[in-house]
Protein backbone atom coordinates (compact mmCIF):
# COMPACT_ATOMS: atom_id res chain seq x y z
CA UNK A 1 0.00 0.00 0.00
CA UNK A 2 1.29 3.46 -0.84
CA UNK A 3 2.57 5.62 1.95
CA UNK A 4 0.82 8.91 2.70
CA UNK A 5 3.71 10.72 1.04
CA UNK A 6 3.35 8.65 -2.13
CA UNK A 7 -0.42 9.23 -2.15
CA UNK A 8 -0.01 12.98 -1.89
CA UNK A 9 2.72 13.05 -4.52
CA UNK A 10 0.57 11.03 -6.93
CA UNK A 11 -2.38 13.39 -6.38
CA UNK A 12 -0.24 16.47 -6.98
CA UNK A 13 1.27 14.98 -10.12
CA UNK A 14 -2.09 13.95 -11.56
CA UNK A 15 -3.65 17.35 -10.91
CA UNK A 16 -0.52 19.34 -11.77
CA UNK A 17 -0.70 21.09 -8.41
CA UNK A 18 2.34 22.29 -6.49
CA UNK A 19 0.96 21.32 -3.11
CA UNK A 20 -2.19 20.88 -1.03
CA UNK A 21 -2.75 24.17 0.78
CA UNK A 22 -5.30 22.80 3.19
CA UNK A 23 -8.12 25.01 4.47
CA UNK A 24 -11.25 22.83 4.62
CA UNK A 25 -12.22 19.22 5.30
CA UNK A 26 -15.34 18.08 3.44
CA UNK A 27 -17.16 15.34 5.35
CA UNK A 28 -19.80 12.99 4.06
CA UNK A 29 -22.37 12.33 6.82
CA UNK A 30 -23.96 8.85 6.82
CA UNK A 31 -21.32 6.23 7.47
CA UNK A 32 -18.70 8.88 8.25
CA UNK A 33 -20.06 11.08 11.03
CA UNK A 34 -23.00 8.84 11.92
CA UNK A 35 -23.25 5.05 12.20
CA UNK A 36 -26.52 5.28 10.31
CA UNK A 37 -26.07 3.16 7.19
CA UNK A 38 -27.52 -0.08 8.66
CA UNK A 39 -30.76 1.81 9.39
CA UNK A 40 -30.78 3.37 5.93
CA UNK A 41 -30.26 -0.08 4.38
CA UNK A 42 -33.24 -1.56 6.25
CA UNK A 43 -35.47 1.46 5.58
CA UNK A 44 -34.72 1.53 1.85
CA UNK A 45 -35.08 -2.22 1.35
CA UNK A 46 -38.36 -2.56 3.25
CA UNK A 47 -39.91 0.54 1.68
CA UNK A 48 -39.03 -0.59 -1.83
CA UNK A 49 -40.47 -4.04 -1.15
CA UNK A 50 -43.82 -2.53 -0.13
CA UNK A 51 -43.97 -0.88 -3.56
CA UNK A 52 -43.07 -4.02 -5.50
CA UNK A 53 -39.50 -2.85 -6.02
CA UNK A 54 -36.29 -4.69 -5.13
CA UNK A 55 -33.28 -3.13 -3.46
CA UNK A 56 -31.28 -5.38 -1.17
CA UNK A 57 -29.70 -4.04 1.99
CA UNK A 58 -26.26 -4.81 0.56
CA UNK A 59 -27.01 -2.84 -2.60
CA UNK A 60 -28.03 0.21 -0.57
CA UNK A 61 -24.37 0.63 0.33
CA UNK A 62 -23.47 0.65 -3.37
CA UNK A 63 -25.91 3.50 -4.03
CA UNK A 64 -25.11 5.48 -0.90
CA UNK A 65 -24.64 9.14 -1.75
CA UNK A 66 -27.31 9.35 -4.42
CA UNK A 67 -30.23 11.64 -3.79
CA UNK A 68 -33.43 9.84 -2.73
CA UNK A 69 -35.12 10.67 -6.03
CA UNK A 70 -32.19 9.27 -8.01
CA UNK A 71 -32.19 6.02 -6.04
CA UNK A 72 -35.91 5.47 -6.61
CA UNK A 73 -35.66 6.34 -10.30
CA UNK A 74 -32.73 3.96 -10.76
CA UNK A 75 -34.55 1.00 -9.19
CA UNK A 76 -37.76 1.71 -11.10
CA UNK A 77 -35.91 2.06 -14.39
CA UNK A 78 -34.10 -1.23 -13.77
CA UNK A 79 -37.42 -3.01 -13.21
CA UNK A 80 -39.13 -1.31 -16.14
CA UNK A 81 -41.55 0.55 -13.87
CA UNK A 82 -42.54 4.17 -14.44
CA UNK A 83 -43.28 6.47 -11.52
CA UNK A 84 -44.58 10.01 -11.33
CA UNK A 85 -42.78 12.76 -9.41
CA UNK A 86 -45.58 12.58 -6.85
CA UNK A 87 -45.03 8.84 -6.40
CA UNK A 88 -41.31 9.39 -5.99
CA UNK A 89 -41.96 11.95 -3.27
CA UNK A 90 -44.37 9.56 -1.53
CA UNK A 91 -41.88 6.67 -1.62
CA UNK A 92 -39.07 8.84 -0.29
CA UNK A 93 -41.30 10.22 2.45
CA UNK A 94 -42.20 6.67 3.44
CA UNK A 95 -38.54 5.70 3.45
CA UNK A 96 -37.73 8.67 5.71
CA UNK A 97 -40.49 7.61 8.10
CA UNK A 98 -39.12 4.05 8.13
CA UNK A 99 -35.63 5.36 8.89
CA UNK A 100 -36.93 7.55 11.71
CA UNK A 101 -38.70 4.51 13.19
CA UNK A 102 -35.40 2.60 13.45
CA UNK A 103 -33.44 2.60 16.72
CA UNK A 104 -31.61 5.93 17.20
CA UNK A 105 -28.07 6.08 15.87
CA UNK A 106 -25.15 7.87 17.43
CA UNK A 107 -22.01 9.47 16.16
CA UNK A 108 -19.55 7.19 14.42
CA UNK A 109 -16.76 6.24 16.86
CA UNK A 110 -13.81 8.55 16.36
CA UNK A 111 -15.76 11.20 14.43
CA UNK A 112 -16.13 13.82 17.16
CA UNK A 113 -12.51 13.38 18.24
CA UNK A 114 -11.38 13.87 14.64
CA UNK A 115 -13.55 16.97 14.23
CA UNK A 116 -11.98 18.46 17.35
CA UNK A 117 -8.52 17.89 15.88
CA UNK A 118 -9.57 19.46 12.59
CA UNK A 119 -10.87 22.57 14.35
CA UNK A 120 -7.76 22.79 16.56
CA UNK A 121 -5.65 22.73 13.39
CA UNK A 122 -7.46 25.88 12.22
CA UNK A 123 -9.31 24.04 9.46
CA UNK A 124 -13.00 24.42 8.59
CA UNK A 125 -15.25 21.34 8.53
CA UNK A 126 -18.04 21.24 5.93
CA UNK A 127 -20.79 18.69 5.22
CA UNK A 128 -21.49 17.23 1.77
CA UNK A 129 -24.35 14.74 2.00
CA UNK A 130 -27.02 13.24 -0.19
CA UNK A 131 -29.49 13.56 2.67
CA UNK A 132 -32.10 16.28 2.39
CA UNK A 133 -33.63 16.07 5.86
CA UNK A 134 -34.78 19.40 7.24
CA UNK A 135 -33.61 18.54 10.77
CA UNK A 136 -30.05 17.90 9.64
CA UNK A 137 -28.40 20.94 11.21
CA UNK A 138 -30.22 20.47 14.50
CA UNK A 139 -29.02 16.87 14.72
CA UNK A 140 -25.45 17.85 13.86
CA UNK A 141 -25.43 20.52 16.54
CA UNK A 142 -26.63 17.97 19.09
CA UNK A 143 -23.81 15.53 18.44
CA UNK A 144 -21.12 17.95 17.23
CA UNK A 145 -21.88 21.25 19.01
CA UNK A 146 -20.68 24.50 17.46
CA UNK A 147 -18.82 22.79 14.62
CA UNK A 148 -21.10 23.00 11.58
CA UNK A 149 -23.12 25.90 10.15
CA UNK A 150 -25.82 25.75 7.48
CA UNK A 151 -23.81 27.91 5.11
CA UNK A 152 -21.08 25.25 5.28
CA UNK A 153 -23.33 22.40 4.14
CA UNK A 154 -24.34 20.90 0.81
CA UNK A 155 -27.31 18.52 1.02
CA UNK A 156 -29.44 16.51 -1.36
CA UNK A 157 -31.88 19.41 -1.42
CA UNK A 158 -29.20 21.76 -2.79
CA UNK A 159 -28.13 19.82 -5.88
CA UNK A 160 -29.70 18.66 -9.13
CA UNK A 161 -27.31 15.75 -9.59
CA UNK A 162 -26.20 13.77 -6.56
CA UNK A 163 -23.10 11.64 -6.17
CA UNK A 164 -21.38 10.13 -8.19
CA UNK A 165 -21.70 13.38 -10.15
CA UNK A 166 -19.08 15.85 -8.85
CA UNK A 167 -21.72 18.59 -8.47
CA UNK A 168 -22.07 18.27 -4.64
CA UNK A 169 -18.33 18.67 -4.09
CA UNK A 170 -17.96 21.37 -6.71
CA UNK A 171 -20.79 23.24 -4.98
CA UNK A 172 -18.97 22.88 -1.65
CA UNK A 173 -15.83 24.35 -3.17
CA UNK A 174 -17.87 27.23 -4.56
CA UNK A 175 -19.57 27.86 -1.22
CA UNK A 176 -16.23 27.93 0.54
CA UNK A 177 -14.49 30.04 -2.12
CA UNK A 178 -12.01 27.17 -2.53
CA UNK A 179 -9.84 25.55 -5.14
CA UNK A 180 -9.67 21.73 -5.25
CA UNK A 181 -6.16 21.66 -3.74
CA UNK A 182 -7.37 23.56 -0.68
CA UNK A 183 -9.63 20.76 0.60
CA UNK A 184 -9.65 17.11 1.60
CA UNK A 185 -12.71 14.86 1.38
CA UNK A 186 -13.58 12.13 3.90
CA UNK A 187 -15.94 9.55 2.34
CA UNK A 188 -17.08 6.00 3.02
CA UNK A 189 -19.04 5.17 -0.15
CA UNK A 190 -17.79 4.31 -3.65
CA UNK A 191 -20.13 6.84 -5.29
CA UNK A 192 -19.00 9.55 -2.89
CA UNK A 193 -15.35 8.76 -3.54
CA UNK A 194 -16.04 8.85 -7.27
CA UNK A 195 -17.71 12.26 -6.95
CA UNK A 196 -14.88 13.72 -4.91
CA UNK A 197 -12.25 12.30 -7.24
CA UNK A 198 -14.08 13.72 -10.26
CA UNK A 199 -14.10 17.12 -8.53
CA UNK A 200 -10.30 16.90 -8.29
CA UNK A 201 -10.11 16.80 -4.49
CA UNK A 202 -7.73 14.63 -2.43
CA UNK A 203 -9.96 11.90 -0.99
CA UNK A 204 -9.61 9.79 2.14
CA UNK A 205 -11.88 6.74 2.16
CA UNK A 206 -12.90 5.13 5.45
CA UNK A 207 -14.43 1.68 4.98
CA UNK A 208 -17.12 1.65 7.66
CA UNK A 209 -19.48 -0.76 5.87
CA UNK A 210 -19.60 -4.25 4.33
CA UNK A 211 -18.18 -3.42 0.90
CA UNK A 212 -14.74 -4.64 -0.17
CA UNK A 213 -11.85 -2.17 -0.01
CA UNK A 214 -11.31 -2.61 -3.75
CA UNK A 215 -14.52 -0.72 -4.58
CA UNK A 216 -13.30 2.37 -2.73
CA UNK A 217 -9.83 2.20 -4.28
CA UNK A 218 -11.24 1.64 -7.75
CA UNK A 219 -13.51 4.67 -7.28
CA UNK A 220 -10.41 6.84 -6.84
CA UNK A 221 -9.59 7.00 -3.13
CA UNK A 222 -6.14 8.48 -2.51
CA UNK A 223 -5.90 6.96 0.98
CA UNK A 224 -7.92 4.07 2.42
CA UNK A 225 -8.36 3.46 6.14
CA UNK A 226 -10.41 0.92 8.08
CA UNK A 227 -12.70 3.43 9.82
CA UNK A 228 -13.01 6.75 11.60
CA UNK A 229 -11.01 5.69 14.70
CA UNK A 230 -8.14 4.79 12.38
CA UNK A 231 -8.38 8.15 10.61
CA UNK A 232 -8.47 9.94 13.94
CA UNK A 233 -5.35 8.06 15.08
CA UNK A 234 -3.55 8.75 11.80
CA UNK A 235 -4.67 12.36 11.42
CA UNK A 236 -1.47 14.00 12.65
CA UNK A 237 0.65 11.94 10.24
CA UNK A 238 -1.62 12.74 7.31
CA UNK A 239 -1.80 16.42 8.25
CA UNK A 240 1.98 16.72 8.47
CA UNK A 241 2.47 14.88 5.18
CA UNK A 242 0.03 17.20 3.42
CA UNK A 243 1.74 20.21 4.99
CA UNK A 244 5.25 19.36 3.80
CA UNK A 245 4.98 17.34 0.58
CA UNK A 246 5.61 19.43 -2.52
CA UNK A 247 7.95 22.26 -3.45
CA UNK A 248 7.56 25.77 -2.15
CA UNK A 249 4.07 27.24 -2.67
CA UNK A 250 3.37 29.29 -5.76
CA UNK A 251 3.78 33.04 -5.34
CA UNK A 252 0.43 34.71 -4.70
CA UNK A 253 0.19 35.91 -8.32
CA UNK A 254 0.94 32.48 -9.80
CA UNK A 255 -1.83 30.30 -8.29
CA UNK A 256 -3.45 27.71 -10.55
CA UNK A 257 -6.66 28.97 -12.12
pTM: 0.89
Does residue 87 register a pLDDT over 50?
yes
DSSP per residue, 7-31: HHHHHHHHHT-S-----EEEE--BT
28 catalytic, yes or no? yes
% the chain with pLDDT above 90: 75
Res. 2 pLDDT band, cuts 50 70 90: low
Convert the pLDDT of each residue in 171-204 to its tens digit: 999 999 999 999 999 999 999 999 999 999 999 9
Catalytic residue, from 30, 35, 165, 222: name it.
30
CB atoms within 10 A of CB 70: 19
Nearest to 183 by CA among 244, 113, 127: 127
pLDDT of residue 92: 92
Q: 3-state secondary structure string, 114-130?
A: HHHHHHHCCCEEEEECC
What is the structure's pLDDT at 250?
A: 41
CB neighbour burial string for 89-110, b if at least 16 within 10 angstroms, e if fewer: eebbebbbebbeeeeebebbeb
Is residue 30 part of the annotated active site? The answer reads: yes
Q: Please state, in angstroms and rounded to a whole number, the distance separating the CA atoms of residues 229 and 128.
A: 20
> Can you tell me the distance from the alpha carbon of 39 to that of 98, in angstroms, rounded to the nearest whole number?
9
pLDDT at position 186 is: 98
Amino acid sequence: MNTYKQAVEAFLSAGRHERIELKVILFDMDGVLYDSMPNHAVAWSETMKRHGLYLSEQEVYLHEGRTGDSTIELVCRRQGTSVTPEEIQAIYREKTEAFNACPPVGAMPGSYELLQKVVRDGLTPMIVTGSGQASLLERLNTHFPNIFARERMVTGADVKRGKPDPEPYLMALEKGGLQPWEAIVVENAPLGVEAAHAAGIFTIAVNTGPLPDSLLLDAGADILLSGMPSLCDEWEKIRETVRYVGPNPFPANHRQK
